[in-house]
Amino acid sequence: MNGRYPPKNVLGQLAIVLHAHLPYVRKNEINSLEEDWLFQAILECYIPLLQSIESSKKENPENTKLTISLSPTLLSLLNNIQIQETFPSWIKTRNDFLNELPLKEKNASAFLIKNLNDKYLYWENCSGNLIEKFKVLNNSGNLDILTCAATHGYLPILRENPETIKGQINTAIRSHENIFETKPLGIWLPECAYYEGLDEILFNSGIRYTILDGHGILNSTPRPRYGVYAPICSKKGVAFFGRDSESTLPVWSAKEGFPGDKVYREFHKDLGWELPLSKLQKKGISTKRPLGLKFHKITDENISLGEKEFYLENEAKNKAAEHADAYLLARSKQLEKLTLSSSFKPLLVAPFDAELFGHWWYEGPFFIENILKNSNKYSIKLTNLKEFLIQKPNLQICDPSPSSWGQGGYHNYWINDANAWIVPEITKAGSTFVDLCLENFNNDLSLRLFNQAARELLLSESSDWSFILRAGTTTELAKERIERHLFRFWKLVEMIKNHSNINFKFLEDIEEEDNVFPNINIDDWRK
């Protein structure tokens, strides 16, 4: 490991990595559950994180460093004009609900009304173009923005047809380059899932680094000299960073970590569950569901939701600042123990789902802001993965181990009794499409059919639906999504094989509805 970087007075480095992803929301899906997922993430996570990073950059520009992956489907949504035009009315609906509350509840939710308006003002000031905000921070080096697989496909279950994996990765790279005007060097593997040989596909696509769960590094061959505290490099030339569980547990765990503190906002008590259905329906919301309107605190995890006390924002912010200091102090002590010699400066890699910060843990962005602003006090150099590799450290050559960061550490969460039926369905579709792509396209209509079939195949491969089926939440929605995209895929395949029977109305409708990846290239699926 190169001893010139970071400076000698620094104990080591900390790389916080955030993974931001949401599944594709089809056109005209207004007032849907999927639209709520997106808008709540924009309001509670993406805007607050941008504000925190920008605020820290003003005070501590050299140590304001984060890595963030923005999945291609999420970028397509943030770049969608219809969504940008719909967000204001979504905000107004929630403001209306809060302003119509009885006086006691309205006073308790005053902080929420203020925050709604504050985040909407930020949105208005950038004309809804959050991507440009991320781009500025990427260009300044404060952010290292990674790509992800195109539709967050779980790559190990696609390995029977390597071309389908190439389709996922190369579509993502092309989408990222189209938006950010630069090719990504790093990728977030969906669910940090890795299998032997994937590094060769990554390298050939131009990817040079990614992140695995800790055991993906620790079980490498040979066993890494520095464990997860330094990246390794595969024989194919891809660097792998390993998750440090000690750096993530205090944030991941609601029971053992910070997010479960009694002064923080209670996630499960939402006004959407408490308002009469008739009132929701007047605003175009057809079913009871969370609205993102929460103004009670955890209070005590053992009491019922009905007994939760009102949330006090200043109390929670003070606690988040305390927790940020406690986190930095613990990392400082950890780095001090790990510093084996003056020539070794350990690196702690702490990856999280971005939506944890703000959506699941409402105070999360404020916690991040305090980490960014105060890390210097604890002799910790914040870095991002690209910046670390630019220093040209000497990396040990190892073959990483198959792994994931899902429950059980491997692939069983995506191959089990609840969702294993998906695997043969998408495998068959992938094989058929790869074989079809061997043909030459003889006209623009053929290419149009192939392009849309590729989109439907990618959308059917999304790991979100497998995850939902295993978790047992909105399972009907997940099943419907998979079956819809596969039905459309096979209908398009039928048209490709039988040019005399083209249903142009069907083609036009799904082109409009599943309008994603405009620069899709069928060559990505060719052997």
CATH code, 246: 3.20.110.10
What is this structure's pTM? 0.95
pLDDT at residue 295 in the model: 98
Separation of alpha carbons 26 and 4, rounded Å: 50
Longest dimension (CA), the chain: 73
Question: Three-state DSSP class for 397?
Answer: strand
CA atoms of 309 and 297, how far apart (whole Å): 6
Residues 368 and 473 in one domain: no
Select which of 34, 36, 191, 355 is catalytic.
Answer: 191
pLDDT number for residue 154: 97
Domain membership of residue 313 (yes or no) is yes
Question: Does residue 440 lie within any of the structural domains?
Answer: yes
DSSP H/E element including 328? helix 313-338
Q: What is the pLDDT of residue 38?
A: 94
Q: Are 360 and 214 contained in the same domain?
A: yes
**Residue 170 within a domain:** no
Please check whether residue 154 lies inside any domain of the structure. Answer: no
Task: Give the tens place of pLDDT for each residue, 282-329.
Answer: 999 999 999 999 999 999 978 999 999 999 999 999 999 999 999 999
Active site residue 353: yes
- Phi-psi domain of 227 (left: phi exceeds 0; alpha: psi -120 through 50; beta: other): left
Q: What is the CATH number of the domain that holds 475?
A: 1.20.1430.10
* Sites in the chain below the pLDDT cut of 70: 1-8, 27-30, 340-342
Same domain, 98 and 17: yes
Task: Please indicate, yes or no, whether residues 102 and 231 belong to a single structural domain of this protein.
Answer: yes
Q: Which of 103, 102, 99, 77 is nearest to 22 (CA)?
A: 77
Annotated binding residues: 243, 260, 405, 464
For 229-285, how does the pLDDT look when each residue is reduced to its tens digit (9 = 90+)? Answer: 999 999 999 999 999 999 999 998 878 899 999 999 999 999 999 999 999 999 999
Burial 79-90 (b: 16+ CB within 10 A, else e): bbeebbebbeeb
d(CA 267, CA 394): 44
Pair 87, 18 in one domain: yes
From 353, 425, 483, 513, active-site residue: 353
Annotated binding site for substrate: 243, 260, 405, 464
| Pair 294, 427 in one domain | no
pLDDT of residue 1: 37
In a domain, 506, yes or no: yes
Q: What is the model's pLDDT at position 82?
A: 87
Number of structural domains found in the chain: 2
Q: Are 372 and 234 contained in the same domain? A: yes
Catalytic residue status for 191: yes
Separation of alpha carbons 416 and 159, rounded Å: 17
> CA-to-CA distance for 202 and 212, rounded, in angstroms?
14
Residue 310 in 3-state DSSP?
strand
**Does residue 163 belong to any structural domain of this protein?**
no
For residue 484, the enclosing domain spans: 422-525
Helix pair 162-180, 444-460: axis angle to 10 deg = 100
